Amino acid sequence: MPKVPNELKFAKPTPDISEVIATDEFAGKGGSYIFDPATGTRSPAPQPEETPTEKE
More confident residue, 10 or 25: 25
Extents of the domains making up the chain: 6-42
Q: Is the pTM above the cut of 0.75?
A: no
Close Cβ partners of 41 (under 8 Å, ≥ 6 residues apart): 20, 24, 35
Q: Is the pLDDT of residue 47 over 70?
A: yes
pLDDT band at 28 (very low <50, low <70, confident <90, very high): confident
| Pairing mode, strands 33-36 and 41-44 | antiparallel
